[in-house]
Structure 1
Amino acid sequence: MHDVLDPGSDRGRVYRSLVRHPHESAGRLAARTGLDEAAVRAVLHELAAADIVVTTGPGDAGAAWEAVPPAQVVEALLRHNDSVRTALRRTGTELERLYRAARRESGHYGALEVVEDHARVLAISRQLQQSARRQLRCIDVPPYSGTADFYLAQEALQRERMAAGVVYRAIYSGSAFDDPVAWPNMARMIEAGEQARTLDDPPLKLAIRDDDLAVVTLAADDRPGVVSLLIRPSSLFRALSNVFESLWRLAVPVSATGAATQIDARDRQILTLMASGATDDAIARHLGVGRRTVVRRVSALLAALGATTRFQAGVQAARRGWL
């Protein structure tokens, strides 16, 4: 139901119309939104099932509808995100136990190879990128221990692969914004074309090449350093691919301006009102400014936050401490 706050979706159009025009019938909503009345009724029943709208009159044909306050909707969506992340982390933990147990019990799992040599771990990272044909998906988590030279070498390789048509999709921990070496590298790669999103606390370090190889990097259990697990096509590979895609949908797009951007008090007010579901007109009236000014500032804030919807902007702004 995240798209209920997206003005471009059918749910978003119906909900926003109810925010502006309380106690409307399905027929009136159809006229206001330009949607077919049957489609509006279907959307209303979906939203009612999710406690986003309520009916205020008897009977489906003559019923009037009312929007649940946007602040409540945003809080409910954020709670849902938290529960999904918790479930994903729990699933990831169980998967790790499963393949560790499989190694102990059988001594061999055909789709899995353990690499403990540090030099080979680094070589695998380069080889993974050099051999990618279509895309590379990765989740990057701290600690960020690479040197400036390491990141410069990685940048050169990534630019070369992106120029060859390889798509990079990366999920970063929110703490990357605070790292003096990792964040500038991240910003430069986004400017070069990398698709980047952030999560507060991604559950694992992962890289997936096309649809044929995944590499999970973990802290070694019995010594300093890390080990890499190479996973080839298998049920485990599919599970890791699904974990990435689920986290990608939850993550928030980030622009190259990132956390370094500062905002003034008025922009903070605009963001707060946006997060509460206020329209551009309502924000303009509240702040005593022209609607064009609000539209211009909203557009600039969305760009600065790397967000495509107001909901994403609210989440990203809250993560960066702007609200």
Structure 2
Amino acid sequence: MPDLLDPGSDRGRVYRALVLHPCATADALAARTGLQVDAVRRQLEGLVAQGAVVAMEDGVWDALPPVQAVEAALRREADRHAGLRRAGEELERLFRSARRDATRYPALDVAYGTARVLGAIQRLQRSARQQIRVIDVPPYAGTSDYYLDQETTQRDRMAAGIVYRTLYDGSAFDDPVAGPNMARMIAAGEQARTLDEPPMKLLIGDDDLAVVTLRADDHDGIVALLVRPSGLLTALSNVFETLWTLAVPASAAGAHPELDARDHQILTLMASGATDDAIARRLGLGRRTVVRRVSALQARLGATTRFQAGVQAARRGWL
């Protein structure tokens, strides 16, 4: 879905036109945006569904406050989180069923015990050809020696061109073993993000094998579900990619920088849909200065679009 706060998208252009010119018809919006009337109407219907625009009498439309639109986006994101948690619970039920009789689903195997699970994780990394995707959440079963061995493996694989993308639980910063390991791997070139309470511990090698690790129910230790190419492996891959888009870059998540007054003004205007030119005029700044500071704010927020920046800023309480 196009970003309603991104002035480069059709939806963003229509929404911004309504913000600047309230109570307009589709024809008037088409003239202001350069879009066809039918295209404008489609975008308006989408904006209504997003809770950003309201239809009035006589074919007139008006924008709702941008902050309200951001809040609606945050609610939708919360719904997505809830959906992912439900998916994680369903996967765990499938795991429990597979443990009772693994022959029911030929793409599944079960590994019992810390040594076997960690061995499977090492083999997965050694066999990967392109990328390894990781969700690393407590409990952290590895010892200090294991983490040192894992660092050696990961450095070797990254040196061979394998891309590591790791999604960490926010608590990893405070763990005396996992925290320093995370910092060293990020410094070595790992792509890392953090998210509060990801739903599972997961490792995916290319599209060939996934390892889901869980604490054993009936004894101390851990067990793992080994998933080969199947619909379940595709579902796990999709869960990872969805969580990755919701997460914050680890380098930004570990700090809580303060905004100065000028950056706060710029961020507020960005969230309202203002362009760089409009921000420059409003604040009496040069356009290049605004472009530079907007780019820096997006980088601090781990955002690639203005819409993402607005959502992340609202999540962090910057607005």
**5+ unaligned residues in a row in structure 1: which ranges?**
none
What CA distance in whole angstroms lies between the structure 1 residues aligned with 2:211 and 2:264? 43
What CA distance in whole angstroms lies between the structure 2 residues aligned with 1:274 and 1:182? 39
- 1:235-274 equivalent positions in 2, closer than 5 A: 235-249=231-245, 251-254=246-249, 256-260=251-255, 262-266=257-261, 269-270=264-265, 273=268
**5+ unaligned residues in a row in structure 2: which ranges?**
none
Q: For residue 247 of structure 1, report the CA deviation from its aligned partner.
A: 2.5
1:118 is aligned, of 114, 117, 124, to: 114
Q: Give the aligned residue type for 2:68.
A: Q
Q: Is the 8 A contact 1:205 1:216 kept in 2?
A: yes
1:7-42: CA deviations, max 9, x gaps?
332222222232223223334433443434432222
Q: Is the 8 A contact 2:53 2:61 kept in 1?
A: yes
**How many residues in Structure 1 have an aligned counterpart in Structure 2?**
317
Change in Cα spacing, 1:315 to 1:132, as seen in structure 2 (3 Å) is same
Per the alignment, residue 79 of structure 1 pairs with: 75
Q: Give the aligned residue type for 1:269.
A: H
**Pairwise CA RMSD:** 3.2
Report whether the alignment pairs 1:290 with 2:285.
yes
Query: TM-score by structure 2 length?
Result: 0.82
Per the alignment, residue 54 of structure 2 pairs with: 54
Q: For residue 118 of structure 1, report the CA deviation from its aligned partner.
A: 1.7
Change in Cα spacing, 1:197 to 1:2, as seen in structure 2 (3 Å) is farther
Q: For residue 270 of structure 1, report the CA deviation from its aligned partner.
A: 3.8
Q: Is the 8 A contact 1:111 1:232 kept in 2?
A: yes
Report whether the alignment pairs 1:200 with 2:186.
no
Per the alignment, residue 19 of structure 2 pairs with: 19
Change in Cα spacing, 1:238 to 1:75, as seen in structure 2 (3 Å) is same
What CA distance in whole angstroms lies between the structure 2 residues aligned with 1:10 and 1:189? 40
Per the alignment, residue 158 of structure 1 pairs with: 154
Change in Cα spacing, 1:48 to 1:96, as seen in structure 2 (3 Å) is same
> Helix, strand or coil for the counterpart of 1:110?
coil
Q: Give the aligned residue type for 1:48.
A: V
Query: TM-score by structure 1 length?
Result: 0.82
Q: For residue 83 of structure 1, report the CA deviation from its aligned partner.
A: 1.6
Q: For residue 53 of structure 1, report the CA deviation from its aligned partner.
A: 1.3
Change in Cα spacing, 1:238 to 1:315, as seen in structure 2 (3 Å) is same
What CA distance in whole angstroms lies between the structure 1 residues aligned with 2:121 and 2:93? 24
What CA distance in whole angstroms lies between the structure 2 residues aligned with 1:205 and 1:218? 7
1:310 is aligned, of 303, 306, 310, to: 306
Q: Give the aligned residue type for 2:268.
A: L
Per the alignment, residue 168 of structure 2 pairs with: 172
What CA distance in whole angstroms lies between the structure 1 residues aligned with 2:2 and 2:209? 31
Per the alignment, residue 223 of structure 2 pairs with: 227
Per the alignment, residue 125 of structure 2 pairs with: 129
Q: Give the aligned residue type for 2:306.
A: R
Q: For residue 192 of structure 1, report the CA deviation from its aligned partner.
A: 4.9
- 1:203-218 equivalent positions in 2, closer than 5 A: 203-218=199-214
Q: For residue 146 of structure 1, report the CA deviation from its aligned partner.
A: 5.0
Report whether the alignment pairs 1:140 with 2:136.
yes
Q: For residue 112 of structure 1, report the CA deviation from its aligned partner.
A: 2.0
Change in Cα spacing, 1:49 to 1:168, as seen in structure 2 (3 Å) is same
Q: Give the aligned residue type for 2:272.
A: G
Change in Cα spacing, 1:32 to 1:98, as seen in structure 2 (3 Å) is same
What CA distance in whole angstroms lies between the structure 1 residues aligned with 2:112 and 2:270? 47
> Helix, strand or coil for the counterpart of 1:256?
helix
Q: For residue 176 of structure 1, report the CA deviation from its aligned partner.
A: 3.1
Change in Cα spacing, 1:8 to 1:176, as seen in structure 2 (3 Å) is farther
Q: For residue 46 of structure 1, report the CA deviation from its aligned partner.
A: 2.0
Q: For residue 78 of structure 1, report the CA deviation from its aligned partner.
A: 1.2
Q: Is the 8 A contact 1:219 1:227 kept in 2?
A: yes
